[in-house]
Amino acid sequence: MKVNWLWDTRLPETRVKKILKNEGDPRFYIYAEKLFSRVNNPHEAFRYVSRRTFRRTWPVIKQRVEKDAWAKPKVQFWQYIYEKETGNRIIFEERMSIAQQIKSLRVKMGYTQNEMAKKLGVIQQYISKLEAGRENLTIDTLKHVAEIFDKKLVIQLS
């Protein structure tokens, strides 16, 4: 039986699993790209590609997935998983801290996500991702967020 994400391939799932267990296989990146551009469930994806292989190969897979405009939203999701998997917890924790501060300020100011999105000139889903720590914010965006809340942006390197 074919798995949903394999809808356009003639290979059976067992064969694809074998390919994805061997990153030396010339077809590995073809199927890894399909997997990570179509699946947004780590439990399911890691049935095909080990976590270790994912950590090692994600940067290349990411470049391939980014070329497909339809799959770009998946890149953010898997990048988030990659950061957690690689122990890049300092960046992850800093991003979460900023996300929580932004959400707290938004709620304190009485703004809905939709109202804040309009003020920033983005869609509500962006605010949702931002507050969940799934958005890698630029300094420009942080400055704009601070202005919305009538706050001063202070960045301190120590």
Return averaged pLDDT per consecutive 10 residues of the chain, 158 residues in all. 79 95 96 94 95 93 91 86 75 81 94 95 91 85 93 88
Helices 113-120 + 139-148 axis angle, to 10: 120
Q: Note the pTM of the prediction, 2 decimals.
A: 0.57
What local confidence, expressed as pLDDT, does residue 84 receive?
Answer: 81
pLDDT tens across 86-100, in order?
Answer: 776 556 678 888 999
**Domains of the chain and any CATH numbers:** 4-85 (no CATH), 95-148 (1.10.260.40)
What is the predicted pLDDT for the residue at 4?
85
Gap between the Cα atoms of 57 and 30, Å rounded: 12
Instruction: Judge whether 20 and 48 are in contact, CB under 8 Å.
Output: yes
Q: What helix, strand, coil percent values describe the chain, rounded to 5?
A: 65, 0, 35
Residue 119 in 3-state DSSP? Answer: helix
Distance CA(30)–CA(60), nearest Å, equals 11
The rounded distance, in Å, linking the Cα atoms of 50 and 111 is 42
- Rounded-to-integer distance, Cα 131 and Cα 119, Å: 16
Q: What is the pLDDT of residue 129?
A: 86
